[in-house]
Amino acid sequence: MRYNWRQRTQAAPLKIAIAGCGISGLASALLLSRQGHSIVLFDQFDAPASVGSGMMLQPTGMAALESPCRSQTT
C-alpha cells in the first residue's frame, strides 16, 4: 500500500525538534509547521553568519517546496 501525502489526518499537533538549519532542516520545518506542528530548530551556530558557503535553489526546487506544503486554507 502506498502512502498518499495529500490525504491528511486530523492528528493532534506534535512538538518536533529538528537538528540542523541546512536546506533539509529548513524545508522540513517549513512543511511541518504548515501542517500545524510546533517546531524548534537547533544548529551549531547561535546566529546566522557568513561562513563562506552558498546555496542556490533552482526554480524546480522552489516549485517542489511550494506545491506540497501550501496551506489548505489559502
Q: Residue 73 pLDDT > 50, yes or no?
A: no
Give the residue extent of every domain in the chain. Answer: 15-45
Distance (Å, rounded) from C-alpha 51 to C-alpha 55? Answer: 12
Q: Exposed, middle or buried, 34 (CB in 10 Å: 0-12/13-18/19+)?
A: middle
Q: Is the pTM of this model over 0.95?
A: no
Q: Which of 10, 14, 8 is nearest to 38 (CA)?
A: 14
Question: Who has greater pLDDT, 29 or 61?
Answer: 29
pLDDT digits (tens, 9 = 90+) for 5-57: 566 566 788 999 999 888 889 889 988 998 899 999 998 887 777 776 667 77
Note the residue count of the chain.
74
